[in-house]
Amino acid sequence: MIRVLICDDHLIVRQGIKQILADASDIELAGEAADGPDALAWVRRAAADGTLPDVVLLDIAMPRRDGLDVLKALKSEFAKLAVLMLSTYPDRQYAVRSLKLGASGYLNKSADSEQMIEAIRKVAGGGLFITPAIAEQLATALGAGASRPAHEQLSHREYQVFRLLAAGRSVGEIAEQLVLSPNTVSTYRARILEKTGARNDVELALYAVRQELQSV
């Protein structure tokens, strides 16, 4: 049996995924978590008990600590753990970033149940699940170098701060949300402005609109 941990803050989403898993004879629910810290705590407890799940289904937009942060922490502690990222965002925003951080696959929540089951089985077997469109994006990202859009050249943390700034959050609010000092956030902000060529937060927001990046 493939044991799956579902990490998503929406109860109705977790219930829907559980129903999909229940229809697969070789997959069973290992547990569920409703936010980032809860997901990390669940996996750490399971590791201590010797009952790590085979696959973690991890939503990107998680409260208290986002999915990419959780992914980074999980892969640093449990390198072989298969993590399949789930998202409602367009694939081009987070798919490549997820794979670079060690995800075993990336699946949009608009995917059908058969594709989700296929993805779970593939990553549980040690494979990488990506759609043809994501494969093309990954190849482009690996080969384009400096020709990539400015936001794609930001580090993971810089991208987090960028999206929050573009959504109108203040340095203090971002520091609280990401558990960073205001000085650290200000440093990231300065780097982001330099890399994107924006002069202020308004121009960052306009850049995000031009690139069709959804607000946080």
Query: Looking at the predicted structure, is the pLDDT value of residue 99 above 50?
Result: yes
Residues 47 and 82 in one domain: yes
pLDDT, average across residues 121-141? 82
Query: Looking at the predicted structure, is the pLDDT value of residue 110 above 90?
Result: no
| pLDDT given for residue 97 in this prediction | 83
Domain carrying residue 78: 2-142
Q: Final residue of a domain: which of 121, 142, 163?
A: 142
Residues 107 and 194 in one domain: no
- Residues 201, 193: Cα–Cα separation, whole Å: 8
Question: What CATH number should be reported for the domain holding residue 24?
Answer: 3.40.50.2300
Residues 169 and 112 in one domain: no
| pLDDT given for residue 216 in this prediction | 41
Residues 104 and 135 in one domain: yes
- Residues 159, 72: Cα–Cα separation, whole Å: 14
Confidence of residue 135 (pLDDT cuts 50, 70, 90): confident
Residues 67 and 174 in one domain: no
Residue 216 counted as domain residue:
no
Residue 215 counted as domain residue:
no
Contacts of 199-202 spanning 24+ positions with Cβ under 8 A: 201/165, 201/166, 201/168
Tens-place pLDDT, residues 154-181 = 888 888 899 888 888 899 999 988 888 9
> Treating both helix axes as pointing N-terminal to C-terminal, what angle do 201-210 and 156-166 enclose, rounded to 10 degrees?
100
Confidence of residue 117 (pLDDT cuts 50, 70, 90): very high
Residues 112 and 175 in one domain: no
Residue 135, token pair as written in the block: 């494969």
Q: Final residue of a domain: which of 142, 177, 195?
A: 142
Query: Looking at the predicted structure, is the pLDDT value of residue 213 above 90?
Result: no
Residues 95 and 44 in one domain: yes
pLDDT, average across residues 83-93? 82
Residues 162 and 80 in one domain: no
Residues 49 and 98 in one domain: yes
| pLDDT given for residue 139 in this prediction | 67
What 3-state DSSP class applies to 140? helix
Give pTM, 2 decimals: 0.73
CB 24 within 8 A of CB 75: no
Residues 133 and 174 in one domain: no
Tens-place pLDDT, residues 59-83 = 998 888 889 999 999 999 999 999 9
Contacts of 192-198 spanning 24+ positions with Cβ under 8 A: 192/154, 192/158, 192/161, 192/162, 192/165, 195/150, 195/153, 195/154, 195/158, 196/150, 196/151, 196/162, 197/150
Residue 201 counted as domain residue:
yes
